[in-house]
Amino acid sequence: MERYWNQEIECMSREDMKKLQDERLVAQVKHVWDNVPYYRQKMEEKGVTPDDIRSTDDLYKLPFLSKADLRDCYPYGLLAKPLSECVRIQSTSGTTGKRVVAFYTQHDIDLWEECCARAITAVGGTKDDVCQVCYGYGLFTGGPGLNGGSHKVGCLTLPMSSGNTERQIQFMMDLKSTILCCTPSYAAYIGEAFKEMGYKPEDNCLKAGIFGAEPWTEEMRKEIEKSLGIKAYDIYGLTETSGPGVAFECSEQNGMHINEDNFIAEIIDPDTGEVLPEGEKGELVFTSITKEAFPLLRYRTRDICVLSRKKCSCGRTLVKMAKPMGRSDDMLIIRGVNVFPSQIETVLIAQGYPPNYQIEIDRVNNTDTFDIYVEMTAEQFSDTVKDVQKKEAELVGAIKTILGINPKVHLVSPKTIARSEGKAVRVIDKRKLV
Amino acid sequence: MASEIRQLSVFIENKPGRLSKVLKLIGESGIDIKALNIADTNDFGILRLILSDVDKAASLLKEKEYAVTITNVIAADVENTPGGLAGALSVLDTQGVSVEYMYASLSGTGEAAHVVIRVDDNEKASEALTSKGYKLIGDADIK
């Protein structure tokens, strides 16, 4: 039998949901207009005032927000509540240059945790479950989000954070975890380690896994399901809107229901900004209609995907989004971390290398490999292997500082990487994710 | 005063054909290779050369977009008998000079081998070796 955390909302008629969204949007636009001078100015430039927004039908009139706006406004420029009313920040993995810092009031945290509680309930979670959260805890939203959702549902929560796989498996076995939450690549890794330790899939008590924060394929889903003997579900979210739980998968396992009482989703043409009809592929845009502290209106996610209102067998009426099938910018997601090639370029220049490089990404044993080829220069070159390897290590360190993940750096001969005349091929992504 | 030798180093990617290409360039321009050594890693190698005309080779390779560097190294005559090289190295050890790498030249005098040594302190190494009776040699001595 399908379980809901908040049946009234999750199964609300389209009509009632639209009414709820209309009311919340109108109030939210006024809240932003009154409290966020940056966005107000954007509205004024477009000649829009709160009076023009009477329902969700008027949403298209509002200006977009992008990652660049968030950078420009760092850290407080989009804050809509006094800091004294905020209780938490979370942050992105530090994308192009500056990190994005999102603020939360207690109310925001409660709503976010409810979204995660819905996701956990949708995979069959109840207060009788043992929920092992091995997303990273800290600034990253993964750990705190699922941790909060698990508390709300009343699961016994294991706040493991990521890493130390043997200990993860030990706890999983000793405390009889029933739900596993982590990135899909880590789930696959746990599955392998589990087997290596001599266990069979049926040896654990797990029944479901909630895996998100990076793109993954149906093949990977099957592999994880087989290796751990579970059902694997997707979850979607981004720090800018709250974190995981913006959308979650149900028993159908073919798309994620968006928590529409909190987020209005639109699909737009990434080039023209025009709103596309349901079923068409385009860039996903979110408007937060309940967030108090950091209420982003029409935030462009850069994720390319499709929305569907086809009737779902789980009984939920919330619109469904397909797995994102790519990005409308050059952002890469490597090991769950957002990476812009331009960040690497910045590091190279700062370290005295030419901005000619090639990034090669692949997925080996369900883990992303991340190789960067960089041209050696006469200035950086020395006659000892030790010094050249030190240069490589310095580059790795500088890139790790910016991205938070370790690349493998290979120095190659000068002028051997193609120059950018027109469009240089900077990225070779060998992962077959779509 | 240390008698130093100028060594040319070339960055070479660890790919088939890269080394021979460099050696061919040098050969075609009439530059003689007196001693050479290659250090290799998974990704790259460093070719070190003692040449009849270092500057010419350096500018030639730079023109062809190679990363090159010139380093001052020392060279000594080491007795061509078992334990000869070990003796020279223990002199450096005793003086606290650390050796980055070393290699022998392609030619020698028969009784002595020419050994090129890259150390962290040329001055100190030269003093130590000469004080123990080793003969340091210059560019012209290596044929």
**Residue in chain A nearest B10 by alpha carbon:** A383
Predicted confidence at residue A215, as pLDDT, reads 75
What span, in angstroms and rounded, lies between the C-alpha atoms of B69 and B57? 11
Q: A4 near A10, Cβ under 8 Å?
A: yes
What span, in angstroms and rounded, lies between the C-alpha atoms of A325 and A303? 7
Domain of A144 in residue numbering reads as: 7-321
Give the bridge partners for A58, in sequence order: none
pLDDT bracket for residue A319 (50, 70, 90): very high
Q: B69 contacts in A (CB within 8 Å)? A: 378, 381-383
Q: Residue A422, by phi and psi: left (phi above 0), alpha (psi -120 to 50) or beta?
A: left
A179 and A132 in a common domain = yes
Residue A218 CB contacts under 8 Å (≥ 6 apart), including other chains: none
What span, in angstroms and rounded, lies between the C-alpha atoms of A431 and A216? 10
**Residue in chain B nearest A409 by alpha carbon:** B43
A395 and A271 in a common domain = no
Q: A90 near A99, Cβ under 8 Å?
A: no
What the block records as the tokens of B104 is: 């022998």
CATH number for the domain that contains residue A347: 3.30.300.30
Q: How many domains does chain A have?
A: 2
- Residues A413, B65: C-beta atoms closer than 8 Å: yes
Torsion of Cα atoms, A106 then A112 then A117 then A123, to 10°: -170
Is A416 touching B (CB cutoff 8 A)? yes
Tell me how crowded residue A47 is: count the other CB atoms within 10 A of its CB: 8
pTM exceeds 0.80, yes or no: no
What are the tens digits of pLDDT across the range A267-306? 999 989 999 999 999 999 999 999 999 999 999 998 989 9
Give the bridge partners for B51, in sequence order: B33
- Residues A378, B48: C-beta atoms closer than 8 Å: no
Q: Does residue A355 carry a pLDDT above 80?
A: no
The helix/strand/coil state of A366 is coil
DSSP letter string, B27-41: HHTTPPEEEEEEEE-
What the block records as the tokens of A376 is: 């050696």
Q: B6 near B139, Cβ under 8 Å?
A: yes
Residue A72 lies in a domain: yes
CA B11 to chain A, closest CA, distance in angstroms equals: 7
Residue A2 lies in a domain: no
Domain boundary among A290, A321, A352: A321
A388 and A285 in a common domain = no
Q: CA B58: distance to chain centroid? A: 15
Residue A434 lies in a domain: no
What are the tens digits of pLDDT across the range A40-53? 999 999 999 999 99
Q: Does residue A424 carry a pLDDT above 60?
A: no
- Residues B11, A381: C-beta atoms closer than 8 Å: yes
Give the bridge partners for B113, in sequence order: B78, B108
CA B137 to chain A, closest CA, distance in angstroms equals: 21
CATH number for the domain that contains residue A157: 3.40.50.12780
Domain boundary among A289, A321, A353: A321
- Residues A384, B13: C-beta atoms closer than 8 Å: no
A360, A376, A383, best to mutate vs chain B, most B CBs in 10 Å: A383
The DSSP bridge pattern shows strands A367-375 and A408-412 to be: parallel
A343 and A208 in a common domain = no
A424 and A368 in a common domain = yes
Predicted confidence at residue A422, as pLDDT, reads 46
CA B135 to chain A, closest CA, distance in angstroms equals: 25
The helix/strand/coil state of A288 is strand
Residue A37 CB contacts under 8 Å (≥ 6 apart), including other chains: none
Predicted confidence at residue A383, as pLDDT, reads 93
A205 and A103 in a common domain = yes
Place of tokens 């130390």: A164
The helix/strand/coil state of A421 is coil
pLDDT bracket for residue A404 (50, 70, 90): confident
Is A84 touching B (CB cutoff 8 A)? no
Q: Does residue A96 carry a pLDDT above 80?
A: no
Q: B88 near B129, Cβ under 8 Å?
A: yes
HEC-encoded secondary structure of A166-232: HHHHHHHHHCCCCEEEECHHHHHHHHHHHHHCCCCHHHCCCCEEEEECCCCCHHHHHHHHHHHCCEE
What span, in angstroms and rounded, lies between the C-alpha atoms of A286 and A362? 30
Q: Residue A302, by phi and psi: left (phi above 0), alpha (psi -120 to 50) or beta?
A: left
Give pLDDT < 70 ranges for chain B: 1-2, 108-109
Give the bridge partners for A91, in sequence order: A101
Q: A340 near A331, Cβ under 8 Å?
A: yes
A106 and A58 in a common domain = yes
A343 and A296 in a common domain = no
Q: B9 contacts in A (CB within 8 Å)? A: 381-383
What span, in angstroms and rounded, lies between the C-alpha atoms of A26 and A264? 12
Of A381, A410, A411, the CB nearest to B69: A381
What are the tens digits of pLDDT across the range A208-223? 999 998 778 787 898 8
| Average pLDDT across chain A, whole number | 92
A351 and A223 in a common domain = no
Of B43, B65, B67, the CB nearest to A381: B67
Predicted confidence at residue A366, as pLDDT, reads 83
What are the tens digits of pLDDT across the range A138-154? 999 999 999 999 999 99
**Residue in chain B nearest A413 by alpha carbon:** B13
A344 and A285 in a common domain = no
The helix/strand/coil state of A144 is helix
What span, in angstroms and rounded, lies between the C-alpha atoms of A388 and B39? 11
Q: Residue A305, by phi and psi: left (phi above 0), alpha (psi -120 to 50) or beta?
A: beta
| Structural domains of chain B, with CATH | 4-71 (3.30.2130.10), 73-141 (3.30.2130.10)
Residue A141 lies in a domain: yes
Residue-level length of chain B: 143
What the block records as the tokens of A270 is: 């990434």
Domain boundary among A288, A321, A354: A321
Residue A62 lies in a domain: yes
Residue A66 CB contacts under 8 Å (≥ 6 apart), including other chains: A299, A300
What span, in angstroms and rounded, lies between the C-alpha atoms of A145 and A180? 14
What are the tens digits of pLDDT across the range A163-195? 889 999 999 999 999 999 998 888 988 998 899
A374 and A274 in a common domain = no
Q: A155 near A127, Cβ under 8 Å?
A: yes
Residue A280 lies in a domain: yes
Give A401 or A249, the one with higher predicted confidence.
A249
- Candidates A306, A300, A303; CA nearest to A322 is A306
Predicted confidence at residue A267, as pLDDT, reads 98
Residue A326 lies in a domain: no
A230 and A358 in a common domain = no
Q: A235 near A211, Cβ under 8 Å?
A: yes
Q: A298 near A285, Cβ under 8 Å?
A: yes
